[in-house]
Amino acid sequence: MSTTLPNTTLRTEGLSKQWGAFKANSDVSLTFQPGARHALIGPNGAGKTTFINLLTGFFAPTSGKVFFGDEDITALPQHKRVKLGMTRTFQINTLFAGLTVLESVVLAINERKGMQFVWYKTVAQESATIDEAMELLTLLKLERDADTITRSLPYGKQRLVEIALALATKPKVLLLDEPAAGIPSAESAELFDVIARLPREVTVVFIEHDMNLVFRFAERITVLVGGKVLTEGTPAEIAADPRVKEVYLGEAEHE
């Protein structure tokens, strides 16, 4: 993977999203420093996924702005944000699931290169693309699975393939919405080990419910509650914050 990507700060200013009278995000102003390992946490319904959807352009905000570096990208469509270097993972679709891991990543690289309409078997012969794909698979410890059909991989590895596909876009910022959801805890720790090894050129913003994973891998944590930022800090600061404990204790009591 290239190590020459310029770093860019992703930032929001007073971002709000409202459906009718319901405010899913209220006045969220956050800055994600280049190279950050930044977790978004908060109880169910706190507005974490909504916030990621505002960052990617999947939702338009009711008010507020999103900046990528100096550029105001609030009105930019999703695909243009991907081109700028903001990528989120998507669940592998049916087409990708039926391909081998290597074919899938080659397809994603060709998409980035604007060669998506070229039949993949022809393009796969292009050795530079295959080399790049293998490099990515090695980074994600998937090199031995290159020739395996994606859908026959264990679920945890499929999630890694999704990250490989996102990395094929050469993101500066990788947005992960519960990357370990639904996978056994041993596999989820492995998945986060891989995420932790991603090059620093990639800023990683992730939503995660498992606090063990959050406190092991995040270097910065923002706590959202009721669509608002409750607080932000280092893991040590967040762990020591009585307001955060209260929010989570309150949640545990209701479960």
Ligand X SMILES: Nc1ncnc2c1ncn2[C@@H]1O[C@H](COP(=O)(O)OP(=O)(O)OP(=O)(O)O)[C@@H](O)[C@H]1O
Q: Contact positions toward ligand X, by CB under 6 A?
A: 19, 24, 42, 44-50
In the bound state with ligand X, the residue whose beta carbon lies nearer, of 42 and 57, is 42
Q: Please count the other Cβ atoms lying within 10 Å of the Cβ belonging to residue 213.
A: 20
Min dist. Cβ of residue 200 to ligand X (A): 27
- In whole angstroms, give the CA distance from residue 203 to residue 161: 19
Angle at 123 between CA 121 and CA 127, to 5 degrees: 115
For the bound state, the minimum distance from the C-beta of residue 44 to ligand X, rounded and expressed in Å, comes to 4
Q: Compare residues 32 and 51 and give the one whose CB is closer to ligand X.
A: 51
Report the residue number, 19 or 90, with the smaller CB distance to ligand X. Answer: 19
CB count within 10 Å of CB 195 equals 21
* Amino acid in the structure at residue 80: K
User: Quick one: 55 or 164, whose CB is closer to ligand X?
Assistant: 55
In angstroms, what is the minimal distance from the CB of 227 to ligand X?
Answer: 7
Let me know: does 228 contact 197? Beta carbons within 8 Å: no
Give the nearest distance from C-beta 221 to ligand X in angstroms.
14
Closest to ligand X by CB, 45 or 250 = 45
Burial-class residue 2 by CB neighbours within 10 Å (0-12, 13-18, 19+): exposed
Please give the Cα distance from 103 to 19 (Å, whole number): 41
CB of 225 to ligand X, least distance (A): 9
